[in-house]
Structure 1
Amino acid sequence: MDSTRSRGPAWARGTGGRVVGIAAAVLLVVAVAVSCSSGDGDTGVPVQGGGPDAGLTGVRAPSDTAGGTLRVVTGEVDSLDPQRSYLPGVWNLMRLYTRTLVTFSTEPGRSDQLVADLATDLGTSPDGGTTWTFTLREGARFETGRPITSRDVKYGIERSFASDVVVGGPTQVVELLDDPGNPYAGPYQDEAPDKLGLAAVETPDDRTITFRLRSPQPDFPYVMALPSSSPVPIENDTAGDYGRDPVSSGPYAISSVDPVTGIVLDRNPQWDGATDDVRTALPDRVIVRTGLTGVERDQALLAGSADVDVSGTGVQAATTARLAEGAGGEVPVTERVDEVTSGVVRLLALPTNVAPLDNPACRAAVAAAIDRRAVQERLGGAVNAVRTSQLWPRALEGGPEESDPEPDLAAARESLATCGQPDGFRTVLAVPDATISVAVADEIAGQLGEIGIQVEVRPLAAPSFYATDVGNPDNVAANGFGIVLATWTADVPTPGSFLEPLVDGRSISPVGNTNFARLADPAVDGLIDAARAAAGDPGAARAAWSEVATAATATGAYVPLTETRVQLLAGQRLRNGVVMSAYTSYDLATAGVR
């Protein structure tokens, strides 16, 4: 994997610039076309276009006709258990069989905003974000026919606390709701006689649920939009095996899971569209082919044997070349493409506990020497990456102004002299062992070599890179990792979710640390507190978070490089293609094929 928190890996690009030969491509088209064929007779429908970027602010090939089989392709699926998955492509799939109190909008251009789902509204907080109360709609049921209650929502959230059984998913609810003085071990170890469960969540009746957080959190409704906050019926919970047959609360239920035929979802007869303002549930069936490479997924879309790729990676280099040629016959392929800036920021972290990068002037020297244009070219050019010098995803409004600085070697040498290293110094650059990341690391090493900084590029095993190699500050210091090349994206699209894990000194942890630079600056922490306090005024809050980003960048602890761009290719039959910006894919909640 080539990113952090299990979210980046599915989104980060890693083509290595290799082009698939024509013969191999043809074989892939045939093989994937056969394996993805739905057999429902829908393959003869006209090819849908819509125009470039039609799904970004509008609906690609709109239709309200039900029926047919939606054919989905993706890479690996980590888990079908909503509390155990940490891949946005799987989260997109889960919109079909899990519901949450709130969820992301299906309205074009607003898919990063929240709307009510199982709840009647986005929640209310009487005290600035410490206490949140939601009221459930009436009429929503599990596929078993039992009504969904507030206790089911609470139980689903409690499962995330069972770190010995339910592993791999988001843990924000644990951080926000657990009592450090009396930790909750999850429902499987709950030995309390009354079995009331997590004390921070109250369910006074079947339709009311109240959360009492450890500290104010204005972004809490976004946490409730994650599948890990979906309801689970306790009577059907099989602990670590729940992902084999999760109980549906949405319009589809999982019928079968097979490595060859894929994941099959059929209509859930207990779902009532009158209780769901989000999902259109047009297809009769959804089939998901998993474990396909990026090239295989692209070829399936080009061949017409797949309708949508939910992996979030966009098309591969070989396909990008074909898009540039304008291929596609009657409806050019370019008419089926949406270009999306993904929110995945590639950056350098300069750990403040590793000499000589513990000196701000030495960090300033590194920042001044960086040539972002050259990094962008290594990543495949503007089609794959946009340059950035700010700790702020472009899709979020209200951030610091982008300066796009050129390298300044004279200023870099002055900073080296200021930090007592006029001839440069030696350091180690830690990088995930993935082709494209190592290529970028080599480029950075060459740039720093021009000012005398001799960099050893050290590729480390991707699966353990973020968890233990650079996620342990002591390990970083012990190995002399003066520079870390990382990619970072927030779990939810808010400034606080992007910035706090990276720059809040109080977020540093001995394991799984995401403050890669080990930045512990009281001034930055104070600005974070001010931004939290401004939560009641959205405009003031954005401005306050912008100050956090500016101050954190000024420390030199992070050097932003690029933000990943992807090209989404809609399948020939895809109807109602709406780009889901939070998952960098087309929204399965609205997709159809007729």
Structure 2
Amino acid sequence: MIGVREQQRAEDPPTGTGPLRFLGPVPGGLPDEPEPGTIGTGQVLRLITRQLFAYPVTTDPAARPVPDAALELPTVDNGGISPDGRTWRIGLRRGVHWDAQRARELAGGDVVRGLKRTAHPLARSMRPYFGALIEGLADYYRRYDEEFGHWEAHAPALAQFSHLTRIPGLRAEGDTVVLRLTEPADDLLDLLATGYAAAAPREYDYYVPDSPELYRCNPACGPYRIAKQLTPGGDFVLEPNPRWDPATDPIRRRTASRIDVVASAGGEPVHDATAFGVLSWDLPAPAARFGGTGCSYYLSALPGGSAQAPAARHALSWAVDRAALAAAARTAGADGAAAQHGVLQPGDPGAERFEDAAPDAGDPERAGRLLADAGLGPGTRLTVAVPVGSRPAAVATALAGVLARYGIAVVVVSPGVPGADLTLHEWAPRWAGNANRDLLHRIWPSDGGAGDPASVAADALRALDPGTATALWRRFDRLATADLRLVPLIVAAWPRARADALAAGAARW
């Protein structure tokens, strides 16, 4: 097969600003704040692929997804969503072409192929979300694992499995993609706006995902294409894609004549990649705006620990100086940080306003009494399990300083160490917008009992009416915060976490 480099010579874009140079994505993801010059995998995908919907490039933290390869946002009124909320019909925009041997328009089958590729291990983190919503997709994942979990698959076997294994809730009807859901989902738009849902050309079926062969022949439909032969973990070059038409792309701009992505800087300067394709297509980018969303930090008690009793967590919620923790996060590099008094982030449309919450700086007098009553008086030693990384470390250090005011010594240990009293949780949402499904899946300690506030959240996720969904989320926030399974601390907008959420994706091209 002829590679994409042999198809058509690329011309420098008329708006080109010269070449850009970034450090390559970190293998295994970006769990912490890397060098500013590091570009994320999702940012690279945003340059070469398209999905049905995408987040616009803006400094507005409240921005919502807009049509990308889709023609319009589906609604009940325009017939895109069925009255029961379970069937979505999404028409495709015309004029979006793959950089293949011959220009080929992006079709519904490409979107279906892309969603099926979420079965690949590199996209495994998103399986609980797509698999729970699209009818039959969870069974497809199970059969994929049974078929390919114990041997090294080859491309024909993977392609045959994909073609022959039908997913009842996922099909293409010409230039329309039809999704049948297990239940209504008010966050489906946000999930489809991730790079995990990017369309995949038929050439992807010729090679094993994440293989050197696929890296060498990789049709693009975004403003750039891979120009240099690529191997996993190596350098590569992005050049202008001659098949890309800016008139068909409301999201992307082509502002560089080429983009070099290198594994090592080699002593040469690199550009700041943190905001590229997220806040702006130009460098330097404008400053990010903080809207009360980002990474949230919570405390939870471990069984048998000193803070297991609800009274202890109630006392801690009044003792914590959240203003000091937020200041520490800003000092450590956050674009913005604020106290968080509810389980939902304060910038979430469904977040409740807690008029009777502790002051941002805490209430030392009241907290002292509550701590003493809960057996956490001066001389107490609390062991806190803290995730690896500079971000949670900064919060943990500030927390230790705050509790030292009450004579409480904090000992930091790694997660999983026996005998810890508390866990410091860092929730970095896996996607932008309404990511509360991710909060429930990864952070909320659900017990499935009749009084678990998670049941209210499940109703909110199924709500068809936005007003009803907001009311349910506020109810969940009230109940979950009063429940004290999680003690909210702060929300901080770290530059890298913001980029990873807005341009979420895995290197499965």
TM-score range, shorter chain: 0.7 to 0.9
| Displacement of 1:255 | 0.9
Q: Deviations for 1:528-573, whole angstroms, at most 9, x for unmatched residues?
A: 134234332x2342233233223222222223333334689xxxxx
| Match of residue 193 from structure 2 | 225
Matched, 1:562 2:490: yes
Aligned residues of 2:312 and 2:371 also touching (Cα < 8 A): yes
| Match of residue 401 from structure 1 | 353
Q: In structure 1, how many angstroms separate the alpha carbons of the residues matched to 2:263 and 2:401?
A: 39
| Displacement of 1:312 | 10
Q: AA paired with 2:443?
A: N
Q: Deviations for 1:496-538, whole angstroms, at most 9, x for unmatched residues?
A: x13x433x4xx4xxxxxx22655666351232134234332x2
Aligned residues of 1:347 and 1:561 also touching (Cα < 8 A): yes
Aligned residues of 1:349 and 1:483 also touching (Cα < 8 A): yes
Aligned residues of 1:100 and 1:229 also touching (Cα < 8 A): yes
Aligned residues of 2:337 and 2:491 also touching (Cα < 8 A): yes
| Match of residue 383 from structure 2 | 428
Aligned equivalent of 1:487, options 426, 434, 446: 426
| Match of residue 325 from structure 2 | 375
Aligned residues of 1:309 and 1:585 also touching (Cα < 8 A): no
| Match of residue 181 from structure 2 | 213
| Displacement of 1:581 | 6.5
Q: AA paired with 1:412?
A: A
Aligned equivalent of 2:69, options 100, 115, 118: 118
Aligned residues of 2:294 and 2:498 also touching (Cα < 8 A): no
| Displacement of 1:274 | 4.0
Give the secondary structure class of the aligned counterpart of 1:486: strand
Aligned equivalent of 2:93, options 128, 137, 160: 137
Give the percent of matched residue pairs that are identical in Structure 1 and Structure 2. Answer: 23
Q: In structure 1, how many angstroms separate the alpha carbons of the residues matched to 2:234 and 2:164?
A: 42
In structure 2, the CA distance between the partners of 1:290 and 1:340, relative to structure 1 (3 Å rule), is: farther
Aligned residues of 1:396 and 1:493 also touching (Cα < 8 A): no
Instruction: Single out whichever of 154-163 and 241-250 deviates more from structure 2.
Output: 241-250
Gap regions ≥5 residues in structure 1:
1-41, 43-63, 81-86, 315-332, 461-468, 470-474, 508-513, 569-579, 587-594
Aligned residues of 1:76 and 1:292 also touching (Cα < 8 A): no
| Match of residue 6 from structure 2 | none
1:322-361 equivalence runs, <5 A: 337-341=286-290, 343-351=293-301, 353-361=303-311
Q: In structure 1, how many angstroms separate the alpha carbons of the residues matched to 2:390 and 2:48?
A: 36
Aligned residues of 2:47 and 2:224 also touching (Cα < 8 A): yes
Q: In structure 2, how many angstroms separate the alpha carbons of the residues matched to 1:307 and 1:433?
A: 24
Aligned residues of 2:71 and 2:92 also touching (Cα < 8 A): yes
For normalisation by structure 1, the TM-score amounts to: 0.64
- Aligned-residue RMSD, C-alpha: 4.2
Q: Deviations for 1:332-356, whole angstroms, at most 9, x for unmatched residues?
A: x9x9751433833341331364544
| Match of residue 66 from structure 1 | 15
Q: In structure 2, how many angstroms separate the alpha carbons of the residues matched to 1:194 and 1:585?
A: 28
Instruction: Single out whichever of 280-289 and 262-271 deviates more from structure 2.
Output: 280-289
Q: AA paired with 1:215?
A: E
1:270-419 equivalence runs, <5 A: 270-289=243-262, 300=269, 306=271, 308-310=273-275, 337-341=286-290, 343-351=293-301, 353-381=303-331, 384=334, 385-390=336-341, 391-397=343-349, 399-401=351-353, 404-416=359-371, 419=374
Instruction: Single out whichever of 385-394 and 415-424 deviates more from structure 2.
Output: 415-424
Matched, 1:186 2:115: no
Q: In structure 1, how many angstroms separate the alpha carbons of the residues matched to 2:390 and 2:56?
A: 36
Aligned residues of 1:131 and 1:211 also touching (Cα < 8 A): yes
Matched, 1:100 2:51: yes
Aligned residues of 2:49 and 2:220 also touching (Cα < 8 A): yes
Matched length: 451
In structure 2, the CA distance between the partners of 1:149 and 1:263, relative to structure 1 (3 Å rule), is: same
Matched, 1:149 2:107: yes
Q: AA paired with 2:474?
A: S
Matched, 1:254 2:226: yes
In structure 2, the CA distance between the partners of 1:70 and 1:566, relative to structure 1 (3 Å rule), is: farther
Q: In structure 2, how many angstroms separate the alpha carbons of the residues matched to 1:107 and 1:446?
A: 36
Aligned residues of 1:425 and 1:453 also touching (Cα < 8 A): yes
In structure 2, the CA distance between the partners of 1:150 and 1:368, relative to structure 1 (3 Å rule), is: same
Q: Deviations for 1:309-333, whole angstroms, at most 9, x for unmatched residues?
A: 448999xxxxxxxxxxxxxxxxxx9
Q: Deviations for 1:112-147, whole angstroms, at most 9, x for unmatched residues?
A: 311112121223221444322212223322211333
| Match of residue 438 from structure 2 | 501
| Displacement of 1:412 | 3.1
In structure 2, the CA distance between the partners of 1:481 and 1:196, relative to structure 1 (3 Å rule), is: farther
Q: In structure 2, how many angstroms separate the alpha carbons of the residues matched to 1:375 and 1:291?
A: 34
Aligned residues of 2:301 and 2:308 also touching (Cα < 8 A): yes
In structure 2, the CA distance between the partners of 1:292 and 1:430, relative to structure 1 (3 Å rule), is: farther
Aligned residues of 1:387 and 1:563 also touching (Cα < 8 A): yes
Gap regions ≥5 residues in structure 2:
1-11, 30-37, 75-79, 149-156, 504-509
In structure 2, the CA distance between the partners of 1:74 and 1:175, relative to structure 1 (3 Å rule), is: farther
| Match of residue 215 from structure 2 | 244
In structure 2, the CA distance between the partners of 1:268 and 1:179, relative to structure 1 (3 Å rule), is: closer
Q: In structure 1, how many angstroms separate the alpha carbons of the residues matched to 2:170 and 2:18?
A: 41
Q: In structure 1, how many angstroms separate the alpha carbons of the residues matched to 2:142 and 2:166?
A: 6
| Displacement of 1:183 | 5.1
In structure 2, the CA distance between the partners of 1:195 and 1:436, relative to structure 1 (3 Å rule), is: closer
For normalisation by structure 2, the TM-score amounts to: 0.73
In structure 2, the CA distance between the partners of 1:291 and 1:534, relative to structure 1 (3 Å rule), is: farther
| Match of residue 130 from structure 2 | 173
Q: In structure 2, how many angstroms separate the alpha carbons of the residues matched to 1:410 and 1:491?
A: 39
Q: Deviations for 1:255-280, whole angstroms, at most 9, x for unmatched residues?
A: 12489994311122233334333333
Q: In structure 2, how many angstroms separate the alpha carbons of the residues matched to 1:173 and 1:130?
A: 14
Q: In structure 2, how many angstroms separate the alpha carbons of the residues matched to 1:193 and 1:358?
A: 49
Give the secondary structure class of the aligned counterpart of 1:125: coil
Q: In structure 2, how many angstroms separate the alpha carbons of the residues matched to 1:346 and 1:354?
A: 25
| Displacement of 1:365 | 1.6
| Match of residue 54 from structure 1 | none
Q: In structure 2, how many angstroms separate the alpha carbons of the residues matched to 1:312 and 1:559?
A: 35
Give the secondary structure class of the aligned counterpart of 1:399: coil
In structure 2, the CA distance between the partners of 1:519 and 1:357, relative to structure 1 (3 Å rule), is: farther
In structure 2, the CA distance between the partners of 1:161 and 1:547, relative to structure 1 (3 Å rule), is: same
| Displacement of 1:427 | 3.9
| Displacement of 1:430 | 0.9
Q: In structure 2, how many angstroms separate the alpha carbons of the residues matched to 1:97 and 1:261?
A: 18
Matched, 1:526 2:455: yes
| Displacement of 1:219 | 1.0
Q: Deviations for 1:161-201, whole angstroms, at most 9, x for unmatched residues?
A: 133xx456533323333566775433975899994434143
Give the secondary structure class of the aligned counterpart of 2:431: coil
In structure 2, the CA distance between the partners of 1:436 and 1:530, relative to structure 1 (3 Å rule), is: closer
| Match of residue 464 from structure 2 | 535
